[in-house]
Amino acid sequence: MFYYKRSDNDINSGVGFLVNKNIKDNSGDRIAQIIIQLSEMYRLQIIQVYAPTTNHDEEEVIEDYEEVYKLMEEEKTHFKIVMGDFNAQVGKKEDAKETSVGNLGYKKRNERGDLLIDFAEANK
């Protein structure tokens, strides 16, 4: 089953999942999630993100990060995967304290990259 959502008024957004027909999703036009029951004890939450481009206001980007955080907090699962296109350049590790970035990044980090790294660091 292919679950796909996009905004009626924005052709530059849309997220989705291709999954077994027994799995339901919870989708918006920029953030979607599915919960998969792996076993009796374990569930997996996958959050797919398509963040606004740099043409959009910073406030809209912050709201999307808040929505991702809210989804992560609402669902108590053993495993969580947050993935997608965050429209950010993270570059390489800039501080030895950063655990979510390696030394082999591409290009320089931009402001959206800072937001993504801060989000990743805060949420381990």
Domain boundaries, the chain: 2-87
Residue 118 has pLDDT above 90, yes or no: yes
Residues in the chain, overall count:
124
Helical segments of 1-124, H only: 58-74, 111-123
Q: Which of 16-20, 47-51, 55-59, 105-109 has the lowest mean pLDDT?
A: 16-20
Looking at residue 54, the DSSP 8-state letter turns out to be: T
Average confidence (pLDDT) over 22-50:
84
Residue 49 has pLDDT above 90, yes or no: yes
Q: How wide is the angle at C-alpha 34 spanned by C-alphas 31 and 38, nearest 5°?
A: 150
Closest CA to 71 of 23, 35, 39: 35
Looking at residue 40, the DSSP 8-state letter turns out to be: S
pLDDT of residue 82: 95
pTM of the entire structure? 0.77
| CA dihedral sign, ordered 107, 110, 114, 116 | negative
Residue 13 has pLDDT above 90, yes or no: no
Residue 115 has pLDDT above 90, yes or no: yes
Average confidence (pLDDT) over 19-31:
70
pLDDT band at 87 (very low <50, low <70, confident <90, very high): very high
